[in-house]
Amino acid sequence: MSRRIHIFDTTLRDGEQVPGAKLNKKQKIEIAKQLAKLNVDVIEAGFPCSSPGDLEAVREISRQVQGPTIAALARAVKEDIDIAWQAVCEASSPRIHVFLGASDIHIQKKLRSDRGKAMEMAVEAVRYAKSLCPEVEFSTEDGSRTDFEFLCRIIDATIQAGASIINVPDTVGYALPEEYGELIYRIRQGVPALDRVLLSVHCHNDLGLAVANSIAAVRNGADQVECTINGIGERAGNASLEEIVMVLRTRFENYQAQTRIDTQEIYRTSRMVSRIMNIPVQPNKAIVGSNAFAHSSGIHQDGILKDRTTYEIMKPEELGIKEQTLVLTARSGRAALKHRLAELGFTLEAEIFERVYNRFIDVADRKKEIGAQDLQSIVEIEVFKVPELFKMHSLQIMSGNKMVPLASVTLEREGKLYTDAATGDGPVDAVFKGIERITGIPGKLRDYDLKAVTMGRDALGEAMVRVEIGEDIYSGLGSSPDVIEASARAYLNACNRYFANGGEPK
């Protein structure tokens, strides 16, 4: 008989801790609604005590998103728990997720305390949370490096205090699959009270073992896996939701465990999170990378043509990846565009559709044919675009290997055009400096990535940047058949994210 594995998605909490990936309320709600379509069991919507904005975002998700349990994270202190409850109390299925360092390293170095006091804090926090919320999860932070006897004691004590889910995280990604699996097995044997609650795991990827550790835990009795879309998260990231789900689905005979995830929504969810957070998915990423179902070897291609199972253990269609043969041109009208968008699964409001259409015409005028991947890139950038204080109007470049690059940039703000020029180490640098002169933002470029969306000389270029402005990092995304323009749009997108977050132009 198969076991049910609960999928706890923490993309909106742990995933958002990636520098430059901060989301506004609207963006968090968009992702939460898609996670509900994906059919995750739990959405950890945020850490409400971290900011008033996060509190409001979690509260709105609790109000608007139906289906999954909505969880809010809280430290083991009364104030955090009160704020977490304010955030999720209107959810149809709320959960307060309390955590406390359990290892001696965390207790002594971070909490400046001892095991006895840590035990009291954990029990009091869970008991108080339970008095507010019917469902409480308790996490033994740094559980994989915690003394085993103490770990069992604190788990048992918090279950007695009212916890209905116990999480044993590999917080720093230190564990190996065989030892982590054994730890989960031993905890099951050592704490009989676990039979009446869910046992959860949360693995980080510092050694590249997050998915392997999570799967080892499932084999040894874990009921819930905490993970993120595309494996994003603090430092090297978290266990990847799509990989865990597809391991259990593809190798069902080995684990006899299944999830409720609608795999048809995996690819769409992956792209949405990548676009909104402006975090690219590496081409060779398992399950959702652009090369995951690409075959360049002649031997492989021959086998695929004869029977796809020769070199594919999953069907792209299982993940919602459809054969994309759609082609549009500048002569395609609104009706044709709307039809193509519907085939790709996009239903847009009138205002957003007009924005997409105008951008489509702009690109199509310079690119002979617009394929499905081009169109998907255009739509996703426009749909998830932050409010634009400054809009790209035009730019001109003078550059060569024997001259100093010069860029003239014109931006639009509230109907007025502003033009300035700058020189730089290269044409892209010159454009960025021109944007900085107009917006008044002295940004520092921390990361820059440029790729082609499709093949061919006229391929749509897609640029992603991470820009340090003040003490924060803002990410930006832009696309165009002209790679300089794509880079400019990405940089301007990062600047507009700064303004949307409360920044003021100088």
The string of DSSP codes covering 440-501 is T---EEEEEEEEESSSSTTPPEEEEEEEEETTEEEEEEEEESSHHHHHHHHHHHHHHHHHHT
Burial readout 215-238 (b: 16 or more C-beta within 10 A, e: otherwise) = bbbbbbbbbbbbbbbbbbbbeebb
* pTM to 2 decimal places: 0.80
Nearest to 175 by CA among 204, 139, 215: 204
| Neighbouring-strand partners of residue 474 | 467
- pLDDT, tens digit, for every residue of 221-256? 999 999 999 999 999 999 999 999 999 999 999 999
Average pLDDT of the chain to the nearest whole number = 90
Residue 326 clears pLDDT 60, i.e. is over it? no
- pLDDT, tens digit, for every residue of 24-49? 898 899 999 999 999 999 999 999 99
Q: Find out whether 207 and 177 touch, Cβ atoms under 8 Å.
A: no
Banded model confidence at residue 296, pLDDT cuts 50, 70, 90: very low
Q: Find out whether 237 and 210 touch, Cβ atoms under 8 Å.
A: yes
The distance in angstroms from the start CA to the end CA of the chain is 64
Nearest to 201 by CA among 2, 6, 69, 67: 6
Banded model confidence at residue 290, pLDDT cuts 50, 70, 90: confident
d(CA 14, CA 500): 22
Average pLDDT over residues 189-215: 97
Q: Which helix (H) or strand (E) holds 439?
A: helix 427-439
At 302 the pLDDT is 55
Residue 498 clears pLDDT 70, i.e. is over it? yes
Q: In what order do the strands lie in the sheet with 461-469?
A: 444-452, 461-469, 472-480
Highest mean pLDDT among 6-20, 149-163, 264-278, 352-366: 149-163
Total number of residues shown for the chain: 506
What is the fold of 391-500?
A: Double Stranded RNA Binding Domain (3.30.160)
Whether domain 3-277 has CATH 3.20.20.70: the reply is yes
| Comparison of pLDDT for 259 and 314, the residue scoring more | 259
